Amino acid sequence: MAGLEGSGLVIFKGDLNYRKLTGDVQWPAGTTFEEAMGPLAGKLPILSLRTNKADVIAGLPKELVEKMDSDRETNGWRTNGRWGVITFIPKA
């Protein structure tokens, strides 16, 4: 993080970086991105661009995650690379 403190925007690209940002944990549906990030949340303005390739997901409404997990049409949405998430966490 050294050297990034004054940044206007820090962009994280990719599934692996998303997993690093969120601890690579299978969070309960409805977990906020800030909760998943832990102490880094609010320290920098962060934009995360990610194509979903792993089970970990955070920052989406609980109802949406549960619907995506259970609907046949979205089967595999967490891992099949056909869905993505864009997340912005401002500096506090």
In the complex, the smallest distance separating the C-beta of residue 61 from ligand F1X, rounded to whole angstroms, is 23
Task: Report if residue 16 touches ligand F1X, rule: CB under 6 A.
Answer: yes
Between residue 43 and residue 82, which ones bind ligand F1X under the rule CB under 6 A? 51, 53-54
Task: Report if residue 15 touches ligand F1X, rule: CB under 6 A.
Answer: yes
3-state SS of 17-76? HHHHHCCCCCCCCCCCHHHHHHHHCCCCCEEEEEECCCCCCCCCCHHHHHHHHHCHHHCC
How many Cβ atoms from other residues are within 10 Å of residue 28's Cβ? 10
Evaluate whether 82 touches 50 at the Cβ level (below 8 Å): no
Q: For residues 78 and 91, which CB has a smaller minimum distance to ligand F1X in the complex?
A: 78
Q: For residues 15 and 34, which CB has a smaller minimum distance to ligand F1X in the complex?
A: 15
Residues making contact with ligand F1X (CB under 6 A)? 14-16, 19, 51, 53-54
